[in-house]
């Protein structure tokens, strides 16, 4: 296949690009700067969609950017960087004389309301309850294709949890303090911690890009991009400490997280959801790292 990836130079995008090229597919990345194997968002808008059988959008301002303070400007960028790029790709697909077979948006599990008891599958309803869930709702809606295009293009939304890998995401910021023996639980530690290894995240996207077996549904197919294991932040913290052979005795209280990140952003780490990849498993996806121990060992080893 020829696959177009918006935000392909990011953490998950790099892993997806590597996986697809290893499988023999041709990848073009949409980026802010042009170059070999790349086009810019401006070129997408002016020239239209390049020939492709699959399209993916991973673009978006880093939600946990430690260099940006939680203010109205940052919140605006979180929305525009996701929704504007998704709309641009969806509109290019709709206007193409030969739209791709599959169109995949990677959003987030933030649409599910945090709870210590509720369990969410892809069939669970997503009702906006805060800023980030409102973002996910608008983000996914911006990916919808016109009905005439949806008859031939499969529409998929993947909702990942915390993506774990050594070269980016949350682990890149966590590994040093844990190596130094300064790691600890976040908030109470009892909150659910939905996670996935970056290799499995790329694998789910590649799986979703496969051509539809039947006539596509006009609605979006949803897959939860999380590991099948249900873990808490405490379990994650203790397992990472065990794999690194370091103590984990320095908890970070919730008020400190709120002060550092802003309460609307800190909620991602201090609260959580029990997310089950029911449809992902039913679709036949095989996880390489279905449990924390195997995932963290691979990350630390490399």
Residue 33: pLDDT band with limits 50, 70, 90: confident
Q: What is the mean pLDDT of the chain?
A: 95
- How many Å apart are CA 121 and CA 194, to the nearest integer? 12
pLDDT tens for 258-298 read 998 999 999 999 999 999 999 999 999 999 999 999 999 99
Delimit the domains of the chain by residue range: 2-301
For position 65, what pLDDT does the model report?
Answer: 87
For position 173, what pLDDT does the model report?
Answer: 86
Please write down the HEC assignment for all residues of the chain. CEEEEECCCCHHHHHHHHHHHHCCCEEEEEECCCECCEEEHHHHHHHCCCCCCEEEECCCCCCCCCCCCCCHHHHHHHHHHHHHHHHHHHHHHHHCCCCCCEEEEECCHHHCCCCCCCEECCCCCCCCCCHHHHHHHHHHHCCCCCHHHHCCCEEEEEEECEEECCCCHHHHHHHHHHHCCCCCCECCCCCECCEEEHHHHHHHHHHHHCCCCCCCCCCCEEEEECCCCCCEHHHHHHHHHHHHCCCCCCCECHHHHHHHHCHHHHHHHHCCCEECCHHHHHCCCCCCCCCHHHHHHHHHHC
Judge residue 73's burial from the number of C-beta atoms within 10 Å of its C-beta, 0-12 exposed, 13-18 middle, 19 or more buried: exposed
Residue 302: pLDDT band with limits 50, 70, 90: low
Residue 83: pLDDT band with limits 50, 70, 90: very high
Residue 117: pLDDT band with limits 50, 70, 90: very high
For position 93, what pLDDT does the model report?
Answer: 98
- How many Å apart are CA 143 and CA 59, to the nearest integer? 13
Mean pLDDT of the 145-174 span: 94
Residue 218: pLDDT band with limits 50, 70, 90: confident
Mean pLDDT of the 70-95 span: 97
CATH of domain 2-301: 3.40.50.720
pTM: 0.96
């Amino acid at each position: 296949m020829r696959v177009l990836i918006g935000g392909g130079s990011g953490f998950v995008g790099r892993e997806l690009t590597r996986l697809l090229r290893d499988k023999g597919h041709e990848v073009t990345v949409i980026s802010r700067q042009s170059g070999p194997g790349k086009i810019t968002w401006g070129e997408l808008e002016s020239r239209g969609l390049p020939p492709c059988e699959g399209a993916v959008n991973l673009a978006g301002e880093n939600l946990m950017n430690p260099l940006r303070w939680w203010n109205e400007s940052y919140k605006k960028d979180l929305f525009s960087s996701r929704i504007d790029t998704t709309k641009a790709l969806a509109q290019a697909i709709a206007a193409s004389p030969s739209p791709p077979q599959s169109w995949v948006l990677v959003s987030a599990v933030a649409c599910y309301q945090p709870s210590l008891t509720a369990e969410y599958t892809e069939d669970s309803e997503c009702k906006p309850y805060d800023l980030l869930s409102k973002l996910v709702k608008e983000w996914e809606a911006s990916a919808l294709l016109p009905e005439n295009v949806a008859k031939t293009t499969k529409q998929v939304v993947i909702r990942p949890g915390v993506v774990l890998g050594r070269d980016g995401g949350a682990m890149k910021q966590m590994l040093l303090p844990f190596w130094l023996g300064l790691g600890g639980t976040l908030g109470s530690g009892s909150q659910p911690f939905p996670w996935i290894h970056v290799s499995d995240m790329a694998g789910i996207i590649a799986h979703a890009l496969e051509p539809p077996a039947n006539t596509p549904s006009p609605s979006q197919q949803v897959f939860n991009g999380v590991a099948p294991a249900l873990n808490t932040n405490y379990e994650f913290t203790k397992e990472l400490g065990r794999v690194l052979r370091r103590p984990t005795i320095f908890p970070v209280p919730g008020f400190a997280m709120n002060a550092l990140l802003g309460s609307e952003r800190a909620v991602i780490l201090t609260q959580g959801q029990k997310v089950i990849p029911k449809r992902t498993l039913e679709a036949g996806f095989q996880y390489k790292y279905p449990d924390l121990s195997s995932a963290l060992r691979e990350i630390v080893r490399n």
